[in-house]
Amino acid sequence: MSTTKISSFFHALDSENPKVAKETVNKLLKKNPSSIHYQLLECYYKLKIDHNYQEAYDKSLDLVTNPANYNQLADTQVLTLLLDIFNQSNHANDVSKIFELLLKKQPFNTSLINYWFHYSLTNLNIPSLQKASFHLQKVTSNDEKHHASLAAAYNFYLATINNHNVMEKNLFPQLGLKLLNTVEPLKSDQEIFIKVKLLIACNQVDQAIEVIAKLIDTKKFNEIDITLVLIYLELLHQTNNYQKIHDFTNHVLFDQKFNDFNFWNYWLLAASKLGNQEVLKSMENLPSELKTSRNVLLTYINCGFLFKDDELIKKSVAQYYEYYGNKKCAYSDLIKYVKNPAFDTQWFINDLLLGKYYKDLGLDTKLSQKTKSTIQEVTMLVNLQKFKFLQNEPHLLSGTGSKEYIAENIKIFNYCYDNYLVHNKDLLKTDYFIGNELLIMNLQVELSANFSKQSVIRQVIILRYVLSFSPEDFIVKLWLMKLYNYLNLATLTAETFNSLSIKNVQIDTLNHYLSTRMASTFPDMDKYINSVILKNLKFYDDSQHDYLIHFLNNCYTNESFTKIEKYFEFMKKLAASYEKFYSFAELMEIEELTSGRTKFADQKKSNYDYSNLIKLNTNNNIIQGKKASTNDHDHVHDSILSFNTTGEICNNSSPTDYQWSYSDNRDFTTEWNAGIGHILRSLDTKLSVGPRTGDQYLKLKNLRHLLLKSPIDFDGKGNSKLFDSFEKILVETSQELLDKQFTEVERLEIDLYYNFWKLVRSLLSNDKKEIIDQQLAAISTIFATIIGEFGKITAAYVDVVNWEVAHKYITTIRLYKSFNKSFKAYKQHFPRLFNKNHPQYQGMSTHVIDHLSELQKSIQDSHNDNRLKQISVKNKTMLNGLASTMITEDEQLKKLNIDGNFTKEVFKVVEARYETIFQLLNRV
């Protein structure tokens, strides 16, 4: 076996040099035609370069079915190649069959079974892992038997929850339990956890309860793994066993003094179900240190709602406020109640907050005084302003209402700044200044009530001012990035992003601040893509996968079974990360824009793997799309008590659902945890860089990209299958949903390609003239709209440039370049269809070719007319105008005492960045 030749084969594939790869494998095969290894290399080539999955799979299968080949296949290098081919050709299910075949000859080959286990783990292949571990426990003896049996039993559970086969779903947990019986007595909580999970999977809930109850009876509370305790409560709840819930929570809360909200909720639930009138008495008799705890005070409010006792609600809310009205959590704690129709909001705001607390604070006189203030007072004031908004939302979102509210917030901010912050500057070294939230509230209200580019710029100035004294406030930075993105000031976004030291998994959740529509808004190689984006995308490098698998394996060796299920889920979500595939799709668009002069080969190799993409985009279960971790929630509508006993914030279904669908791990919520919060979230639609892209968006984008690689033959093979997927998504997704994800010009692009491809299909199958005419007319209309829209990018239409202008401009140019190139490729590929003698040539000429030239001319005209220059001049004039009014006349900036020079400086920075944008647009 020629090791160097083999590595040069893989090297050639990696560096996108298929010719060399092909020559290498041919030479090897010539030397040794019967070598299984070389034959598999050929299959691998078929898979990777020809994308001929079927043939690659069929040929490798032939090699496996011949027992004479088993010896060669037992070599791990050969075996891995074979398995990789199976995996990548979408036959991961066959992985176990190969091992089973090989084991028939050597049933006790422990190293082969170990390899099977590790291969399955590495590929997150749960069904295969289950089978491997079952074999492993059979061949291990003595010391290791116990451990191997536990792993195998656990994997029966894992394979059950990841299974759609009803028979296996019933059978597996039973087999798992049987296996556990052989290792009884179980020693640790982790071992008992497996049993409990298997019992639940077998629908033997009572037995599961019994197992945990026994543990609770025999061990001290703090010595039991909390996971089991929480499962216990959940199961008791499921089986309506309220007496037991009552007894147990009573014990934990009062005897063990474990002051935990989950337990309070269950305690209250049980009491309400049992009609236990003692609840209030118990609450009133609590020891005083517990009585003022946040959990207890909130439980008290819940009592009021549960017993529908208005007086109690008022009393308990007032009590809560007394202790926690000066803590930041008061607003998020109480908003649920304040928004409840049964709640007397007027009483809360007018009587309690304004009446009692405003009066107590002596606010009116105090705000104009210079007295030292405390963090409690400052927090109280911020909370009051938040609640005040809730009382009068429609008015405060009107023109005059919002102005008054904003002015009031500024007045309070100044008070907090002058009387608290200046005396506590040290605080900012280690903590946050809650007063900043008043300005976040202003931003949210102003932009919701009165969105304009001017107000966006004003808010940029204000937030930069906040950062001048609170340089570490991450909420402010997140908002600032949103504002910069709206204005297309990507390099400022990048600087802010870097200042947050975002790294590791945060890249996956936050990189969208940088990557969203980057190819069509800021495709700058030097200052942006190379120096920021590509650095971030290294996070997705495959190399860390091996380390993570090592620790996943450790979960088995250390018997940390309670963590394995979510570990798998994490790995799958990361592998199918929306952000990862989105960013790489954007890079592909940059390649398209630069007509291939820019190459991201290194990134493509490991992350934008063609076969992965095809799977992700064509597998049926993803066509429907699936929302992953963001906004997962417990659907307890209108319920006062909320339970989260399993402790998973991400409440997702089984991990395999993510195997070949995107997992959207992006975080769009953190910045909304401040200020007025989620009520105003519709602001995102105005502020974000185009509509929020979703599943269909990315699939269509990727499929379009794949379909551009070579003309579609519409022969039911190769990329015509991809076209079917493309068509299916487009046809099956409602217009409304598409409009929610695409900008107008993006829609036009997708429609143009779709109609063009349909046209080629019709021409190839000699469809009726009417059909072809319809398609030609559709293409014509799309072109006309594109040209019309592009024509609007002039100084007459555009004022201050924002992302939208750049996006429309760049997308149209890219569309022209790539469509033109693609059209030529089709012309070459199907000379017959695009020949002057073809009966449809006239139609093609007027509807496609002429329009394409028209678009080209339109782009050319825009260059000749110096349109960008004119826009840039107008942009500058507008900014200058804004600068001079803001420096001298702006109410908000004046009231905040923001120095004119500061504002001037911000404008200077912004203007300089705009110059970069225009240089970039000129280069496109």
Among 286, 335, 397, 623, binds another protein (CB under 8 A): 335
The CA angle 780-786-789, to the nearest 5 degrees, is: 135
Compare residues 504 and 864 and give the one whose CB is closer to another protein. Answer: 504
Q: Which stretch binds another protein (CB under 8 A): 352-360, 603-611, 640-648, 751-759?
A: 640-648
Determine, following the binding rule CB under 8 A, whether residue 388 of this chain makes contact with another protein. no
Among 192, 196, 384, 555, binds another protein (CB under 8 A): 555
Determine, following the binding rule CB under 8 A, whether residue 638 of this chain makes contact with another protein. yes
CB 605 within 8 A of CB 612: no
CB of 506 to another protein, least distance (A): 6
Q: Residue 274 and residue 287: Cα distance in Å, rounded? A: 24
Determine, following the binding rule CB under 8 A, whether residue 692 of this chain makes contact with another protein. no
Amino acid of residue 370: K
Which residues ranging from 426 to 455 are in contact with another protein (CB under 8 A)? 430-432
Compare residues 264 and 357 and give the one whose CB is closer to another protein. Answer: 264
Compare residues 78 and 514 and give the one whose CB is closer to another protein. Answer: 514
Compare residues 508 and 890 and give the one whose CB is closer to another protein. Answer: 508
Q: What is the DSSP string of 289-345?
A: HHHTSHHHHHHHHHHHHHTT-HHHHHHHHHHHHHHHTTSTTHHHHHHHHHTSTTS-H
CB of 503 to another protein, least distance (A): 5
Among 359, 633, 686, 863, binds another protein (CB under 8 A): 633
Q: Which stretch binds another protein (CB under 8 A): 9-17, 154-162, 649-657, 780-788?
A: 649-657
CB 269 within 8 A of CB 302: no
Among 560, 781, 785, 870, binds another protein (CB under 8 A): 560
Determine, following the binding rule CB under 8 A, whether residue 391 of this chain makes contact with another protein. no
CB of 295 to another protein, least distance (A): 5
Counting residues that bind another protein (by CB under 8 A) gives 89
Q: Which stretch binds another protein (CB under 8 A): 51-59, 639-647, 756-764, 823-831?
A: 639-647
Task: List all residues 6 or more positions away from 174 whose beta carbon is below 8 Å from its beta carbon.
Answer: 202
Determine, following the binding rule CB under 8 A, whether residue 626 of this chain makes contact with another protein. no
Determine, following the binding rule CB under 8 A, whether residue 543 of this chain makes contact with another protein. no
Determine, following the binding rule CB under 8 A, whether residue 223 of this chain makes contact with another protein. yes
Which residues ranging from 570 to 589 are in contact with another protein (CB under 8 A)? 570-571, 573
Per the listing, tokens 């700058």 go with: 524
Burial grade of 832 (CB within 10 A; 0-12, 13-18, 19 or more): exposed
Q: Residue 413 and residue 402: Cα distance in Å, rounded? A: 16
Burial grade of 57 (CB within 10 A; 0-12, 13-18, 19 or more): buried
The CA angle 191-193-194, to the nearest 5 degrees, is: 70
Q: Which two tokens stand for residue 504?
A: 């590791």
Q: Which stretch binds another protein (CB under 8 A): 163-171, 240-248, 425-433, 517-525?
A: 425-433
Determine, following the binding rule CB under 8 A, whether residue 635 of this chain makes contact with another protein. yes
Q: Which stretch binds another protein (CB under 8 A): 197-205, 233-241, 447-455, 497-505?
A: 497-505
Of residues 639, 626, 704, the one with CA closest to residue 665: 626
Residues 18-57, mask of contacts with another protein (x by CB under 8 A): ----------------------------------------
Among 14, 23, 168, 225, binds another protein (CB under 8 A): 225
CB of 586 to another protein, least distance (A): 21
Phi/psi class of residue 318: alpha, beta or left (left: φ > 0; alpha: ψ in -120 to 50)? alpha
Compare residues 327 and 728 and give the one whose CB is closer to another protein. Answer: 327
Determine, following the binding rule CB under 8 A, whether residue 652 of this chain makes contact with another protein. yes
| Number of neighbouring beta carbons within 10 Å of residue 529 | 23
Determine, following the binding rule CB under 8 A, whether residue 678 of this chain makes contact with another protein. yes
Determine, following the binding rule CB under 8 A, whether residue 500 of this chain makes contact with another protein. yes
Q: Which two tokens stand for residue 758?
A: 């349909």
Going by the DSSP 8-state scheme, the letter that residue 49 receives in this structure is I
Q: Residue 30 and residue 689: Cα distance in Å, rounded? A: 56
Give the Å distances, CA to CA, from 776 to 158, 762, 804, 852.
53, 11, 29, 13
Determine, following the binding rule CB under 8 A, whether residue 333 of this chain makes contact with another protein. yes
Among 15, 639, 653, 888, binds another protein (CB under 8 A): 639
Q: Residue 316 and residue 473: Cα distance in Å, rounded? A: 34
Interhelix angle 226-238/261-274, nearest 10 degrees: 20
Burial of 534-552, coded b for 16+ CB within 10 Å and e otherwise, reads: bebbebbeeeebeeebeeb
Determine, following the binding rule CB under 8 A, whether residue 538 of this chain makes contact with another protein. no
Compare residues 308 and 547 and give the one whose CB is closer to another protein. Answer: 547
CB of 663 to another protein, least distance (A): 9
Determine, following the binding rule CB under 8 A, whether residue 468 of this chain makes contact with another protein. no
Among 141, 142, 288, 504, binds another protein (CB under 8 A): 504
Q: Which two tokens stand for residue 837?
A: 């003698």
Task: List all residues 6 or more positions away from 542 whose beta carbon is below 8 Å from its beta carbon.
Answer: 606, 607
Q: Phi and psi dihedrals of 699, rounded to 5?
A: -65, -45
Determine, following the binding rule CB under 8 A, whether residue 469 of this chain makes contact with another protein. no
Which residues ranging from 300 to 329 are in contact with another protein (CB under 8 A)? 327-329
Among 647, 788, 831, 881, binds another protein (CB under 8 A): 647
Compare residues 579 and 749 and give the one whose CB is closer to another protein. Answer: 579
Among 273, 315, 453, 563, binds another protein (CB under 8 A): 563
Compare residues 92 and 375 and give the one whose CB is closer to another protein. Answer: 375
Which residues ranging from 172 to 201 are in contact with another protein (CB under 8 A)? 188, 190
CB of 355 to another protein, least distance (A): 25
Q: Which stretch binds another protein (CB under 8 A): 10-18, 224-232, 769-777, 873-881?
A: 224-232
3-state helix/strand/coil string of 152-200: HHHHHHHHHHCCCCHHHHHHHHHHHHHHHHCCCCCCCHHHHHHHHHHHH
Determine, following the binding rule CB under 8 A, whether residue 679 of this chain makes contact with another protein. yes
Which residues ranging from 228 to 267 are in contact with another protein (CB under 8 A)? 230, 260-264
Which residues ranging from 141 to 170 are in contact with another protein (CB under 8 A)? none
Q: Residue 609 and residue 873: Cα distance in Å, rounded? A: 44
Among 5, 453, 566, 728, binds another protein (CB under 8 A): 566
Determine, following the binding rule CB under 8 A, whether residue 508 of this chain makes contact with another protein. yes
Determine, following the binding rule CB under 8 A, whether residue 569 of this chain makes contact with another protein. yes
Of residues 532, 487, 526, the one with CA closest to residue 911: 487
Phi/psi class of residue 577: alpha, beta or left (left: φ > 0; alpha: ψ in -120 to 50)? beta
Amino acid of residue 602: D
Task: List all residues 6 or more positions away from 4 whose beta carbon is below 8 Å from its beta carbon.
Answer: none
Compare residues 379 and 719 and give the one whose CB is closer to another protein. Answer: 379
Determine, following the binding rule CB under 8 A, whether residue 510 of this chain makes contact with another protein. yes
Compare residues 592 and 664 and give the one whose CB is closer to another protein. Answer: 664
Q: Which two tokens stand for residue 175?
A: 């087999």
Give the Å distances, CA to CA, from 552 to 151, 397, 569, 660.
12, 51, 11, 21
Among 325, 677, 691, 843, binds another protein (CB under 8 A): 677
Which residues ranging from 366 to 385 are in contact with another protein (CB under 8 A)? 375
